[in-house]
Amino acid sequence: MLEKESTQTNAANERWKNLGSEAFKSYDKSRKIFRDLNALIVQDTFGAYASPKDERIFEIGAGDGELARLVSPDIKRRLISSDLNPKFAKMIQGKNRDLSVLSADAEKLPLRDGEIDIVSGYSTFDILPNMEIAAREIGRVLKENGKFIHFMDLQHTEYFVNDILGSDKRVFPNLSRFESQNEGGPQYHLFHSYAKVEDIRSVLEKIKGNYELYDLVNYYLEEPAAAYREMNTSGLEIMARALKKRGVNFTPLDYPMLFQERVGEIFSGIGFEILKNEMELREKTLNSDQILPPDMKGFNCVRRRAGMNIFINGPDIEPGKLKLISELHVFVAEKK
Ligand SMILES: C[S@@+](CC[C@H](N)C(=O)[O-])C[C@H]1O[C@@H](n2cnc3c(N)ncnc32)[C@H](O)[C@@H]1O
Protein backbone atom coordinates (compact mmCIF):
# COMPACT_ATOMS: atom_id res chain seq x y z
CA MET A 1 0.00 0.00 0.00
CA LEU A 2 1.23 3.51 -0.72
CA GLU A 3 2.23 5.53 2.31
CA LYS A 4 -0.47 8.16 1.68
CA GLU A 5 -3.16 5.51 1.41
CA SER A 6 -2.10 3.82 4.60
CA THR A 7 -2.06 7.11 6.53
CA GLN A 8 -5.54 7.89 5.24
CA THR A 9 -6.79 4.46 6.18
CA ASN A 10 -5.34 4.62 9.67
CA ALA A 11 -6.81 8.04 10.36
CA ALA A 12 -10.19 7.00 9.00
CA ASN A 13 -10.24 3.73 10.89
CA GLU A 14 -9.34 5.49 14.13
CA ARG A 15 -12.14 7.97 13.59
CA TRP A 16 -14.77 5.27 13.08
CA LYS A 17 -13.47 3.12 15.91
CA ASN A 18 -13.70 6.03 18.35
CA LEU A 19 -17.37 6.55 17.65
CA GLY A 20 -19.95 5.21 20.06
CA SER A 21 -23.53 4.14 19.49
CA GLU A 22 -24.74 7.76 19.80
CA ALA A 23 -23.36 8.23 16.27
CA PHE A 24 -26.52 6.65 14.92
CA LYS A 25 -29.00 8.70 16.91
CA SER A 26 -28.91 11.57 14.44
CA TYR A 27 -29.23 9.18 11.49
CA ASP A 28 -32.21 7.57 13.12
CA LYS A 29 -33.96 10.85 13.73
CA SER A 30 -34.24 11.61 10.05
CA ARG A 31 -34.39 8.04 8.82
CA LYS A 32 -37.28 6.72 10.82
CA ILE A 33 -39.84 8.58 8.82
CA PHE A 34 -38.57 7.13 5.52
CA ARG A 35 -37.89 3.61 6.70
CA ASP A 36 -40.90 1.88 5.22
CA LEU A 37 -40.21 3.50 1.84
CA ASN A 38 -36.52 2.66 1.97
CA ALA A 39 -37.44 -0.92 2.90
CA LEU A 40 -39.45 -1.15 -0.32
CA ILE A 41 -36.43 -0.13 -2.38
CA VAL A 42 -34.11 -2.48 -0.53
CA GLN A 43 -36.50 -5.43 -0.73
CA ASP A 44 -37.30 -4.84 -4.42
CA THR A 45 -33.57 -4.70 -5.18
CA PHE A 46 -32.79 -7.96 -3.39
CA GLY A 47 -35.88 -9.44 -5.03
CA ALA A 48 -34.55 -8.52 -8.44
CA TYR A 49 -30.88 -9.43 -7.99
CA ALA A 50 -30.55 -12.06 -5.25
CA SER A 51 -31.36 -15.66 -6.01
CA PRO A 52 -32.69 -18.09 -3.38
CA LYS A 53 -29.41 -19.98 -3.89
CA ASP A 54 -27.41 -17.00 -2.60
CA GLU A 55 -26.96 -18.35 0.89
CA ARG A 56 -24.10 -16.16 2.09
CA ILE A 57 -24.85 -12.44 2.03
CA PHE A 58 -22.06 -10.48 3.71
CA GLU A 59 -22.56 -6.89 4.83
CA ILE A 60 -19.69 -4.44 5.28
CA GLY A 61 -19.93 -1.38 7.59
CA ALA A 62 -23.22 -2.37 9.19
CA GLY A 63 -23.15 0.39 11.85
CA ASP A 64 -26.11 -0.19 14.12
CA GLY A 65 -27.82 -2.52 11.67
CA GLU A 66 -29.86 -0.33 9.33
CA LEU A 67 -29.71 -2.84 6.44
CA ALA A 68 -30.85 -5.66 8.72
CA ARG A 69 -33.87 -3.49 9.62
CA LEU A 70 -34.85 -3.01 6.00
CA VAL A 71 -34.37 -6.42 4.35
CA SER A 72 -37.04 -9.12 4.27
CA PRO A 73 -36.85 -11.89 6.90
CA ASP A 74 -35.73 -14.28 4.18
CA ILE A 75 -32.70 -12.14 3.31
CA LYS A 76 -31.99 -11.41 6.99
CA ARG A 77 -31.75 -15.15 7.63
CA ARG A 78 -28.88 -15.30 5.12
CA LEU A 79 -27.18 -12.09 6.24
CA ILE A 80 -23.80 -11.88 7.97
CA SER A 81 -23.34 -8.31 9.21
CA SER A 82 -19.91 -6.85 9.94
CA ASP A 83 -18.39 -3.57 11.01
CA LEU A 84 -14.88 -2.28 11.56
CA ASN A 85 -15.87 -1.05 15.00
CA PRO A 86 -16.26 -4.00 17.42
CA LYS A 87 -18.60 -1.88 19.60
CA PHE A 88 -21.02 -1.59 16.69
CA ALA A 89 -20.81 -5.31 15.93
CA LYS A 90 -21.67 -6.03 19.57
CA MET A 91 -24.54 -3.54 19.48
CA ILE A 92 -26.09 -5.17 16.37
CA GLN A 93 -25.71 -8.58 17.93
CA GLY A 94 -27.47 -7.37 21.07
CA LYS A 95 -30.46 -6.23 19.01
CA ASN A 96 -30.49 -9.20 16.62
CA ARG A 97 -29.79 -12.38 18.53
CA ASP A 98 -30.23 -14.61 15.46
CA LEU A 99 -28.12 -12.56 13.08
CA SER A 100 -24.52 -13.60 12.33
CA VAL A 101 -22.34 -10.64 13.25
CA LEU A 102 -18.60 -10.04 13.24
CA SER A 103 -16.09 -7.25 13.33
CA ALA A 104 -14.24 -6.83 10.02
CA ASP A 105 -12.34 -4.26 7.98
CA ALA A 106 -13.72 -3.94 4.43
CA GLU A 107 -10.14 -3.67 3.17
CA LYS A 108 -9.10 -6.96 4.81
CA LEU A 109 -12.07 -9.26 5.12
CA PRO A 110 -11.59 -12.36 7.24
CA LEU A 111 -13.04 -14.51 4.46
CA ARG A 112 -11.72 -17.03 1.94
CA ASP A 113 -11.56 -16.34 -1.81
CA GLY A 114 -14.91 -16.84 -3.54
CA GLU A 115 -16.86 -17.93 -0.47
CA ILE A 116 -19.52 -15.19 -0.58
CA ASP A 117 -22.57 -14.97 -2.87
CA ILE A 118 -23.45 -11.32 -2.29
CA VAL A 119 -21.56 -8.50 -0.58
CA SER A 120 -23.85 -5.69 0.54
CA GLY A 121 -23.58 -2.35 2.27
CA TYR A 122 -25.78 0.55 3.31
CA SER A 123 -24.22 4.02 3.21
CA THR A 124 -20.87 2.41 3.75
CA PHE A 125 -18.83 2.19 0.58
CA ASP A 126 -18.86 5.97 0.16
CA ILE A 127 -17.05 6.57 3.45
CA LEU A 128 -14.20 4.14 2.85
CA PRO A 129 -10.86 5.90 2.46
CA ASN A 130 -9.61 3.51 -0.22
CA MET A 131 -12.55 2.46 -2.27
CA GLU A 132 -10.33 0.70 -4.83
CA ILE A 133 -8.76 -1.53 -2.19
CA ALA A 134 -12.16 -2.38 -0.68
CA ALA A 135 -13.56 -3.11 -4.17
CA ARG A 136 -10.71 -5.54 -4.90
CA GLU A 137 -11.33 -7.19 -1.55
CA ILE A 138 -15.04 -7.51 -2.34
CA GLY A 139 -14.05 -9.04 -5.70
CA ARG A 140 -11.75 -11.50 -3.96
CA VAL A 141 -14.33 -12.86 -1.52
CA LEU A 142 -17.19 -13.03 -4.05
CA LYS A 143 -17.79 -16.19 -6.04
CA GLU A 144 -17.86 -16.02 -9.85
CA ASN A 145 -21.01 -14.06 -10.83
CA GLY A 146 -21.39 -12.98 -7.21
CA LYS A 147 -22.86 -9.50 -6.71
CA PHE A 148 -22.09 -6.32 -4.83
CA ILE A 149 -25.35 -4.60 -3.80
CA HIS A 150 -24.95 -1.18 -2.18
CA PHE A 151 -27.47 1.42 -1.04
CA MET A 152 -26.76 5.02 -0.11
CA ASP A 153 -29.10 7.37 1.67
CA LEU A 154 -26.69 9.77 3.27
CA GLN A 155 -25.16 12.74 1.64
CA HIS A 156 -22.01 14.68 1.90
CA THR A 157 -19.11 14.10 4.15
CA GLU A 158 -16.27 16.54 4.08
CA TYR A 159 -14.02 13.60 4.46
CA PHE A 160 -15.13 12.08 1.17
CA VAL A 161 -14.40 15.25 -0.73
CA ASN A 162 -11.07 16.08 0.78
CA ASP A 163 -9.50 12.68 1.10
CA ILE A 164 -11.01 10.69 -1.69
CA LEU A 165 -11.65 13.02 -4.56
CA GLY A 166 -8.43 14.89 -4.20
CA SER A 167 -7.91 18.50 -5.08
CA ASP A 168 -9.65 18.85 -8.43
CA LYS A 169 -13.12 19.14 -6.93
CA ARG A 170 -14.38 21.49 -4.26
CA VAL A 171 -17.33 21.99 -2.04
CA PHE A 172 -19.54 24.75 -3.32
CA PRO A 173 -22.55 26.09 -1.48
CA ASN A 174 -25.77 25.91 -3.39
CA LEU A 175 -29.04 27.58 -2.69
CA SER A 176 -32.39 25.96 -3.01
CA ARG A 177 -35.76 27.63 -2.62
CA PHE A 178 -38.26 25.42 -0.97
CA GLU A 179 -41.95 26.14 -0.75
CA SER A 180 -43.45 24.95 2.47
CA GLN A 181 -47.06 25.62 3.46
CA ASN A 182 -46.37 24.32 6.93
CA GLU A 183 -43.50 26.64 7.60
CA GLY A 184 -45.41 29.67 6.38
CA GLY A 185 -44.03 30.48 2.99
CA PRO A 186 -40.94 30.20 0.85
CA GLN A 187 -37.71 29.37 2.57
CA TYR A 188 -34.16 29.22 1.43
CA HIS A 189 -31.91 26.33 2.21
CA LEU A 190 -28.27 25.69 1.84
CA PHE A 191 -27.00 22.38 0.69
CA HIS A 192 -23.58 21.48 -0.44
CA SER A 193 -22.50 20.45 -3.86
CA TYR A 194 -19.22 19.35 -5.20
CA ALA A 195 -17.93 21.07 -8.27
CA LYS A 196 -14.78 20.94 -10.31
CA VAL A 197 -12.29 23.63 -9.43
CA GLU A 198 -12.15 24.87 -13.03
CA ASP A 199 -15.94 25.36 -13.04
CA ILE A 200 -15.71 27.46 -9.92
CA ARG A 201 -12.86 29.44 -11.47
CA SER A 202 -15.05 30.22 -14.48
CA VAL A 203 -17.70 31.49 -12.08
CA LEU A 204 -15.08 33.70 -10.46
CA GLU A 205 -14.15 35.13 -13.88
CA LYS A 206 -17.74 36.18 -14.50
CA ILE A 207 -18.28 37.85 -11.15
CA LYS A 208 -15.04 39.79 -10.91
CA GLY A 209 -16.82 43.16 -10.52
CA ASN A 210 -18.86 42.04 -7.57
CA TYR A 211 -16.43 42.02 -4.70
CA GLU A 212 -18.79 40.72 -2.13
CA LEU A 213 -19.75 37.80 -4.28
CA TYR A 214 -16.26 37.23 -5.58
CA ASP A 215 -14.94 37.00 -2.05
CA LEU A 216 -17.65 34.60 -1.09
CA VAL A 217 -17.02 32.17 -3.93
CA ASN A 218 -13.28 32.51 -3.62
CA TYR A 219 -13.56 31.74 0.06
CA TYR A 220 -15.21 28.43 -0.70
CA LEU A 221 -12.71 27.70 -3.41
CA GLU A 222 -9.75 28.31 -1.14
CA GLU A 223 -11.23 26.79 1.94
CA PRO A 224 -13.66 24.00 1.09
CA ALA A 225 -14.21 23.03 4.69
CA ALA A 226 -15.76 26.43 5.27
CA ALA A 227 -18.82 25.34 3.35
CA TYR A 228 -19.73 23.22 6.30
CA ARG A 229 -20.04 26.19 8.57
CA GLU A 230 -23.30 27.97 9.00
CA MET A 231 -23.91 30.81 6.61
CA ASN A 232 -26.55 33.41 6.97
CA THR A 233 -29.42 33.39 4.56
CA SER A 234 -28.95 36.90 3.26
CA GLY A 235 -25.42 36.07 2.09
CA LEU A 236 -26.74 33.15 0.16
CA GLU A 237 -29.54 35.13 -1.39
CA ILE A 238 -27.10 37.76 -2.56
CA MET A 239 -24.95 35.10 -4.08
CA ALA A 240 -27.82 33.32 -5.82
CA ARG A 241 -29.24 36.54 -7.27
CA ALA A 242 -25.90 37.78 -8.48
CA LEU A 243 -24.99 34.51 -10.15
CA LYS A 244 -28.32 34.47 -11.94
CA LYS A 245 -27.96 38.06 -13.14
CA ARG A 246 -24.64 37.20 -14.72
CA GLY A 247 -26.14 34.22 -16.51
CA VAL A 248 -23.75 31.85 -14.87
CA ASN A 249 -24.53 28.39 -16.08
CA PHE A 250 -23.19 26.38 -13.24
CA THR A 251 -24.07 22.75 -12.77
CA PRO A 252 -22.57 21.50 -9.59
CA LEU A 253 -22.09 17.82 -9.07
CA ASP A 254 -23.75 16.72 -5.91
CA TYR A 255 -22.63 13.93 -3.65
CA PRO A 256 -24.83 11.13 -5.04
CA MET A 257 -23.79 12.05 -8.59
CA LEU A 258 -20.14 12.02 -7.65
CA PHE A 259 -20.52 8.74 -5.85
CA GLN A 260 -22.36 7.24 -8.81
CA GLU A 261 -19.55 8.26 -11.14
CA ARG A 262 -16.86 7.01 -8.84
CA VAL A 263 -18.31 3.67 -7.77
CA GLY A 264 -19.13 2.82 -11.41
CA GLU A 265 -15.57 3.57 -12.52
CA ILE A 266 -14.05 1.54 -9.71
CA PHE A 267 -16.05 -1.64 -10.23
CA SER A 268 -15.84 -1.48 -14.05
CA GLY A 269 -12.10 -1.04 -13.56
CA ILE A 270 -11.83 -4.40 -11.82
CA GLY A 271 -13.93 -6.21 -14.41
CA PHE A 272 -17.38 -6.17 -12.81
CA GLU A 273 -20.46 -5.72 -14.95
CA ILE A 274 -22.55 -2.81 -13.66
CA LEU A 275 -26.19 -3.92 -13.46
CA LYS A 276 -27.62 -0.85 -11.78
CA ASN A 277 -26.23 2.54 -10.77
CA GLU A 278 -29.05 5.00 -10.17
CA MET A 279 -31.35 6.73 -7.74
CA GLU A 280 -34.50 4.78 -6.86
CA LEU A 281 -37.59 6.58 -5.65
CA ARG A 282 -40.61 5.56 -3.63
CA GLU A 283 -43.27 7.98 -2.45
CA LYS A 284 -46.47 8.29 -0.52
CA THR A 285 -48.88 11.06 0.47
CA LEU A 286 -49.64 11.68 4.12
CA ASN A 287 -51.52 14.04 6.38
CA SER A 288 -48.87 16.50 7.45
CA ASP A 289 -50.12 16.80 11.04
CA GLN A 290 -50.10 13.03 11.43
CA ILE A 291 -46.69 12.38 10.08
CA LEU A 292 -44.51 14.95 11.80
CA PRO A 293 -43.54 13.75 15.26
CA PRO A 294 -42.56 16.52 17.71
CA ASP A 295 -38.84 16.04 17.23
CA MET A 296 -39.24 16.38 13.49
CA LYS A 297 -40.85 19.80 13.72
CA GLY A 298 -39.20 22.00 11.17
CA PHE A 299 -37.91 19.04 9.26
CA ASN A 300 -38.97 20.69 6.05
CA CYS A 301 -36.32 23.28 6.71
CA VAL A 302 -33.54 20.77 6.82
CA ARG A 303 -34.31 19.10 3.57
CA ARG A 304 -31.54 16.69 2.63
CA ARG A 305 -30.45 16.05 6.19
CA ALA A 306 -31.50 12.51 5.44
CA GLY A 307 -29.72 12.24 2.14
CA MET A 308 -32.02 12.89 -0.76
CA ASN A 309 -35.18 12.18 1.17
CA ILE A 310 -37.55 15.09 0.99
CA PHE A 311 -41.00 16.33 1.79
CA ILE A 312 -42.83 18.23 -0.88
CA ASN A 313 -45.83 20.52 -0.75
CA GLY A 314 -47.02 21.62 -4.11
CA PRO A 315 -49.97 22.51 -6.32
CA ASP A 316 -50.72 18.87 -7.04
CA ILE A 317 -51.00 18.11 -3.34
CA GLU A 318 -54.05 18.96 -1.26
CA PRO A 319 -53.56 21.42 1.60
CA GLY A 320 -52.61 19.68 4.81
CA LYS A 321 -51.03 16.80 2.93
CA LEU A 322 -47.40 16.08 2.32
CA LYS A 323 -45.78 13.98 -0.29
CA LEU A 324 -43.00 11.99 1.25
CA ILE A 325 -40.33 10.94 -1.19
CA SER A 326 -37.54 8.57 -0.41
CA GLU A 327 -34.60 8.39 -2.73
CA LEU A 328 -31.83 5.83 -2.35
CA HIS A 329 -28.86 5.37 -4.59
CA VAL A 330 -28.74 1.72 -5.63
CA PHE A 331 -25.62 0.12 -7.03
CA VAL A 332 -25.48 -3.47 -8.25
CA ALA A 333 -22.44 -4.99 -9.94
CA GLU A 334 -21.67 -8.56 -10.89
CA LYS A 335 -18.25 -10.19 -10.70
CA LYS A 336 -17.20 -11.53 -14.12
C1 LIG B 1 -21.96 5.94 7.50
S2 LIG B 1 -21.87 4.59 8.57
C3 LIG B 1 -23.21 3.57 7.99
C4 LIG B 1 -23.59 2.52 8.95
C5 LIG B 1 -24.84 1.72 8.62
N6 LIG B 1 -24.67 0.91 7.45
C7 LIG B 1 -26.02 2.66 8.45
O8 LIG B 1 -26.45 2.89 7.33
O9 LIG B 1 -26.49 3.17 9.47
C10 LIG B 1 -20.43 3.74 8.02
C11 LIG B 1 -20.07 2.52 8.82
O12 LIG B 1 -18.92 1.91 8.22
C13 LIG B 1 -18.03 1.49 9.24
N14 LIG B 1 -16.68 1.48 8.67
C15 LIG B 1 -15.84 2.51 8.51
N16 LIG B 1 -14.69 2.10 7.93
C17 LIG B 1 -14.82 0.77 7.72
C18 LIG B 1 -13.98 -0.22 7.18
N19 LIG B 1 -12.76 0.07 6.73
N20 LIG B 1 -14.43 -1.49 7.14
C21 LIG B 1 -15.67 -1.80 7.59
N22 LIG B 1 -16.52 -0.91 8.13
C23 LIG B 1 -16.10 0.37 8.19
C24 LIG B 1 -18.22 2.49 10.36
O25 LIG B 1 -17.82 1.97 11.61
C26 LIG B 1 -19.71 2.78 10.27
O27 LIG B 1 -20.45 1.93 11.09
Determine whether the shortest distance from the Cβ of 123 to ligand 1 is under 6 A. yes
Cα distance between the two ends of the chain: 25
Determine whether the shortest distance from the Cβ of 199 to ligand 1 is under 6 A. no
Determine whether the shortest distance from the Cβ of 63 to ligand 1 is under 6 A. yes
Q: Whose CA is nearest to atom 13 of ligand 1?
A: 61
User: pTM for the whole thing?
Assistant: 0.77
Average pLDDT, the chain: 74
Tell me what percent of the residues of the chain surpass a pLDDT of 70: 57
What is the band of 109 on the pLDDT scale with cuts at 50, 70, 90? very high
Determine whether the shortest distance from the Cβ of 151 to ligand 1 is under 6 A. no
Q: Which CATH number fits domain 2-154+254-281+327-335: 3.20.20.450, 3.40.50.150, 3.40.190.10, 3.90.1510.10?
A: 3.40.50.150
Of 202 and 67, the one with more pLDDT: 67
Name the residue ranges covered by the structural domains of the chain: 2-154+254-281+327-335, 159-170+193-252
What is the band of 188 on the pLDDT scale with cuts at 50, 70, 90? very low
Q: How far is the CA of 165 from the centre of ligand 1 (A)?
A: 19
What is the band of 335 on the pLDDT scale with cuts at 50, 70, 90? very high
The predicted pLDDT at position 315 comes to 54
CA dihedral 110, 112, 117, 121 (to 10 degrees): 20
Give per-residue pLDDT as tens, 47-68: 999 999 999 999 999 999 999 9
Closest approach atom of ligand 1 to CA 85: 25
State how far the alpha carbon of 93 is from the alpha carbons of 56, 80, 88, in Å. Answer: 18, 11, 9
Determine whether the shortest distance from the Cβ of 88 to ligand 1 is under 6 A. yes
Least confident of 64-73, 111-120, 245-254, 301-310: 301-310
Q: Whose CA is nearest to atom 14 of ligand 1?
A: 61
Q: How far is the CA of 155 from the centre of ligand 1 (A)?
A: 14
Does residue 271 carry a pLDDT above 60? yes
Give per-residue pLDDT as tens, 81-105: 999 999 999 999 999 999 999 999 9
Q: Give the mean model confidence (pLDDT) for residues 234-243.
A: 54
Of 31 and 220, the one with more pLDDT: 31
What is the band of 176 on the pLDDT scale with cuts at 50, 70, 90? very low
The predicted pLDDT at position 282 comes to 83
State how far the alpha carbon of 33 is from the alpha carbons of 7, 71, 82, 154, 299, in Å. Answer: 38, 17, 25, 14, 11
